[in-house]
Chain A
C-alpha cells in the first residue's frame, strides 16, 4: 500500500519523482497536475512570482485536503508538493499526483485537490511585473 505524501519546499519540484511516488501495479491511471508560472495575466507581463507559506498550517490543511479527497474517491495514492520562494517564468509552483484503479477517480480527485488547495491552504503569491512593480495576489479582494 502506497502512503500519501505532502510537502512544502523551497527547492525546484521534481515532478517525475512526485509521479513515481503514486505509481503502482494496482493502478490503471495516474493523473499529474502542475501549476507553472505564467508570463501574461490580463495583458500584464510577469517576470517572476514570490510564494510565501504559513508552513505549519499549510501542512495541516494539505493533510485535510488529502483526507477530504479520500472520503469522496477510491484513490490509491496522493502526492502533493508546493514550492515557496522566488520562481521565474515556467517554473513549477505546485505538483499534485493521484493514482487510482480507473481514470475517473484520479481525474476527479486531482481536480478537487487543486481547487481546494487554492481556497484553503495558507500560501500566497506576489507578482513581480515587468515594469518593476510588485503586487500580492489576493483573489477575494481583486476582481476575479
Chain B
C-alpha cells in the first residue's frame, strides 16, 4: 500500500490546540474520512480534547464517514460551528 500525505486545514479551537492552521497527516492510499479520523487521533494527540466532536469537510462540503480521500482534495477539520 502506498502512503499518502493529506494536508488538513484546522480552524477555531482545533487550530489553537494543534498550534497550526495546516497539518500533514499520513494515511494509506485510498483512505476514507473515518480512517483519516483515526490517523488524526494517533498523529495529532493535541486534538484529543475535541475527540468525537470534530467535523471533517472535503472540498468545502461536510464529508460522510465512508467518503474516499485523495491528495488533491481540500480537507478541513474543525469543531461544531458557533456563528451568528
Contact = CB atoms under 8 A, between A and B. Distances in A.
Contact of A138 (B61, B62, B74, B79): B79
A137 B78 CA distance: 12
B80 interface: yes
B80 A140 contact: yes
A82 B74 CA distance: 23
Given A54-B78, A57-B60, A57-B76, A136 B83 contact: no
Contacts of B13: 124, 136, 138
Interface string A129-143: 000000011111100
B57 interface: yes
Interface of A is mostly: mixed
Contacts of B80: 138-141
A129 to B, nearest CB: 15
A136 B12 contact: yes
Interface residues of B, number: 21
A107 B48 CA distance: 41
25 contacts: A52-B15, A54-B11, A56-B60, A56-B74, A60-B60, A93-B83, A94-B84, A118-B82, A119-B81, A122-B78, A123-B82, A124-B11, A124-B13, A124-B79, A124-B81, A136-B13, A136-B16, A136-B79, A138-B53, A138-B79, A138-B82, A140-B80, A141-B53, A141-B79, A141-B80
